[in-house]
Amino acid sequence: MAEAADLVRLALAMPGVVDYPHFDRRAFKARVTFVTLAADGLTANFKFALDEQALKCAVAPEAFAPIPNAWGRRGWTCATLAALSERELAAALEMAWRQAAPKPAARRRRRIKTNAAV
């Protein structure tokens, strides 16, 4: 079961990520914002590509749901942290970070992970 502290730790460990206040939330960005954490620490909003959003919501509907407005139609997806393992949270962060990171950094990290798996 993932918690807010896990999200903060994992997000800040990613290359180029900084956090900043965003209304009543804590936001994390590389080039642009890719995840925000609710003030109560129970949910987070991830920015996925639309196909990634569809996949996450289909595979784990108890954890992921599109935000029910125009933001959701742009890929913003609400995640219930308690419904995720730390590994699932890390995978979601990685997926969202790749959309937000400077392109050379995202390509370099993907290459490193691919080579490490071999």
Taking only the tens of pLDDT, the chain with its 118 residues reads 999 999 999 999 999 999 999 999 999 999 999 999 999 999 999 999 999 999 999 999 999 999 999 999 999 999 999 999 999 999 999 999 999 988 776 666 666 665 554 4
Task: Classify 4-117 by CATH class.
Answer: alpha beta
Rg for the chain (alpha carbons), in Å? 13
Domain ranges in the chain are 4-117
Backbone conformation region of residue 41, classed left if phi is above 0, alpha if psi is from -120 to 50, else beta:
left
Q: Please state the pTM of the whole predicted model.
A: 0.86
Secondary structure class of 112 (helix, strand, coil): helix
